[in-house]
Amino acid sequence: MTDIAAPASAIPETDVTSLPSELMKPSEAAAQAPSADAVPSGRETGEPDFVHYERLVAARLGVSAGLFAALRVRHLPTAIHSLRVALLCSAWAKWRGMTEQERDELEVAALLHDVGLIGLPDQILLKPGPLTPEEILYVDRARLMSVEILRHVTDNENILRIVGNVPAWYDATRAGYSAWGRAIPEAARMIAVAEAFDAMTTDHLYRPAMSVERAFAELYHGAGRQFDPDLVEEFVRFYRSGVDAAKQDVARRWLTDLDAESVNHLWRWVSPSQTILPPEMETVFQHRLLQNMRDGVIFVDTQELILQWNPGAERLSGIMAEAVRSRKWSPTILGLRSERGEPLTEQDCPVLTALRCGAQVLRRLSMQGRNQEKVPVDLHAVPVVLQDGTILGAVAIIHDASPEINLEQRLEYFRERVTRDPLTDLANRAEFDRMLPLFVEQYQRRGIPFSLIICDLDRFKQVNDTYGHQAGDDALRTLAGVLRRYSRSGDLVARYGGEEFVMLCAACDIATATRRAEEMREALARTPLARLNGRVVTASFGVTEVQPGDTPETILRRADRALLMAKANGRNMVIQLGVGNHGETAPVSAKRWWWRAASTEVVVEETLISPFPLALAVEKLHGFIADHQARILKVQGNRLEMEIEVRNPLRSRRRSDRPVCFEMVVVMHEDKPATGDTPARSCFRVRVAPKSTRERRRREIAARLEELLTSFRSYLAISEVQPHHSNPVWLRLRSMLQKSLSQLMPRFRLL
């Protein structure tokens, strides 16, 4: 059978008499079918053929036609071959009824799947004879470079996956490609068939072109191994139906029907990515790594069959690879036991959990060693997941932990257990409650922002009631795996309670956090669960970002309000709240702080301007009241009186610290401009004073009051702050009082 990357001279002779009867007597259309070289020509217009080729390519590729031009200049036969394959695939796609988008992606991938060959040395690209194994390695690397080149000009993942999987074999026997069978994109499987057919029916220096029927025979010979057998049979029927006119129709479509906008929407600049190794070379590195690792490494596929058992696993278990390879995985093979010393069941097996839920699992277990002794091990099960969410298998890494079981590491292990949720292996609520004040403190002291995402599985009770609690546990583990997969270094992912999870996103603004939440929501919604009979679960997300004046309590309540809004609006969505203001208000005069004449209590009065109309500003005021758990005392017209308790937000607060209770009076009205050119604004006259004070707590009270006002401004997106001005008589009395107090109490400075 012919591998396209291999020299065509290696094609074996095939006994045509062994083919199906319909190939023994080809139809008249197939017998009269033109050569695969038949590309629409420009002779009727007097143009040279290559000019007509360039017109076709420019019409199809638009601004990226330069890539094809580079291939044509480097090696014209390869460029013409790619054009023939693209025309053939497009005609085939129309014949089988593919959508316009699928057809566009197929055409572009077929035209540019060999563009990486421009990097081949001349002695390989222009070699007149068969290639050596070393030269084939360079060809494979050049094919992978096609993907790297296209990554710079398009972010269309479908095109990249098609180009990257064209060389993959249907039965997965070609090393270096993870996709096999129907997991290979359909367009890539089509290009592989069309490319092989075109290569076999084209003249080369080292062999003449095959007949169409001989090429059909070779395709059938490779069906099920190199090619998709269904597509091979379909291609033969399509080609016999008359392909020349179909390719002419494709050429006319490119030249007349395609417009610049529809062609160029596929192309945009993408930042460079890292270079990758050719499959065979990468496989050599992986093999050497596995052979020399002291840790045991086991590969298990989706059928739970053992594919790999490295020497490290042999050393730990005393079981040779030949004895277990291709056997069904079971925890009894290694004699695995749980943390309590009980035999590990399949339902509790980390490897099978990774296969079912697509989530990483790390556990301290024990296994039966080569001398039948009990060996403590760390078993890390990692799912192998494609970008579209398809699970290909799992990797189990087994680390011998017996030399590390000393007092210090036992304490660390128990600390880890105390801070982890046993079901999902995420941080637990206690760890989240410890870390959230740390994040707030970093923001207050160093200005490092962070965002908080809170999510909740939709209709989780129905899952438990319908499919059982084990299915519910799988749903929780699946959501935990998605959150862990999308977390970054410095983030904290925790199970907050029940089906609620939280993620602290370090150095992350609300726009980025919302985008990440949307990606996690989509990833969960396309992950089927076996215990739910292939159905999926969904989750709702609330997102917020820390803002000036926030405490750990207010940011958590604001995120929870966003989650409740997502639930109320239909579930399976992301809602963000907060960050109306980052403290960009106008500077406030220091004289806004003053002392009451009858006491030593500090009071602040301000007039605040919000750019929002009053109705929207009042809605934001409701959020401030809810998140601070304010107690409404009185509402009279546009005047609101309430009480708010404010605690020290820093983690260094003492258990004996008591909250400071403030009375807050808000009088609001809408400032409507005389003309309609300027939108209405909202004005808030705010007066804040502590209910009671002590001399020794005055500094703390002033700090808490400032935090409360800062938070109020942030919630209402205040754009202007005007200190409240009293009448002139009171200003003179206040000035005299300040002078007297400054003489009597020099330690206190009036702000």
Q: Using one digit for the tens of pLDDT, what is the confidence trace for 592-647?
A: 444 443 444 578 888 888 888 888 888 889 999 999 899 999 999 899 999 998 87
Average pLDDT over the chain, rounded to whole?
A: 79
Other Cβ atoms closer than 10 A to 471: 19
pLDDT of residue 352: 93
Q: What are phi and psi of 170, to 5 degrees?
A: -65, -35
Q: Is residue 669 classed as helix, strand or coil in its secondary structure?
A: strand
User: Which structure tokens are listed for 411?
Assistant: 């304490």
pLDDT of residue 446 exceeding 70: yes
Of the given ranges (16-20, 52-56, 265-269), which has the lowest mean pLDDT? 16-20
Longest Cα pair distance anywhere in the chain, in angstroms?
117
Q: What is the CATH number of domain 40-264?
A: 1.10.3210.10
Domain extents in the chain: 40-264, 293-414, 420-577, 590-744
Distance from C-alpha of 210 to C-alpha of 202, rounded to nearest angstrom = 7
> Domain 590-744 adopts which CATH fold?
TATA-Binding Protein (3.30.310)
Q: Is 3.40.718.10 the CATH number for 420-577?
A: no
Quickly state the pLDDT bin for 410 (edges 50, 70, 90): low
For the segment 212-250, what is each residue's pLDDT rounded down to a tens digit?
A: 777 888 888 888 888 998 898 889 888 888 777 777 888
Closest CA to 18 of 316, 194, 204, 217: 217
Degrees to nearest 5, angle at CA 131 with 186 and 229: 25
User: Which structure tokens are listed for 647?
Assistant: 């605690």
Distance from C-alpha of 106 to C-alpha of 329, rounded to nearest angstrom = 39
For residues 47 and 717, the model is more confident at 717
> pTM (2 decimals)?
0.48
Distance from C-alpha of 418 to C-alpha of 412, rounded to nearest angstrom = 10
Q: Is the dihedral of CA 724, 727, 730, 734 positive or negative?
A: positive
Question: Any idea what DSSP says for residue 35?
Answer: P
Quickly state the pLDDT bin for 299 (edges 50, 70, 90): very high
pLDDT of residue 689 exceeding 60: yes
pLDDT of residue 587: 44
For the segment 168-211, what is each residue's pLDDT rounded down to a tens digit?
A: 888 887 777 778 888 899 999 999 999 999 888 887 766 777 77
For the segment 81-110, what is each residue's pLDDT rounded down to a tens digit?
A: 888 898 899 899 989 889 888 888 888 888
pLDDT of residue 5: 35
Q: Is the dihedral of CA 255, 261, 266, 269 positive or negative?
A: positive
Segment of 8-12, 500-504, 634-638 carrying the highest mean pLDDT:
500-504
Q: Is 3.40.50.20 the CATH number for 293-414?
A: no
Q: What are phi and psi of 194, to 5 degrees?
A: -65, -40
Question: Any idea what DSSP says for residue 114?
Answer: T
Stated as kind and residue range, the H or E segment containing 744 is helix 728-744
How far does Cα 156 stand from its chain's mean position? 15
Q: What are phi and psi of 365, to 5 degrees?
A: -125, -175
Helices (H), ranges, 468-574: 469-486, 510-525, 552-568
Averaged over 444-464, what is the pLDDT?
A: 92
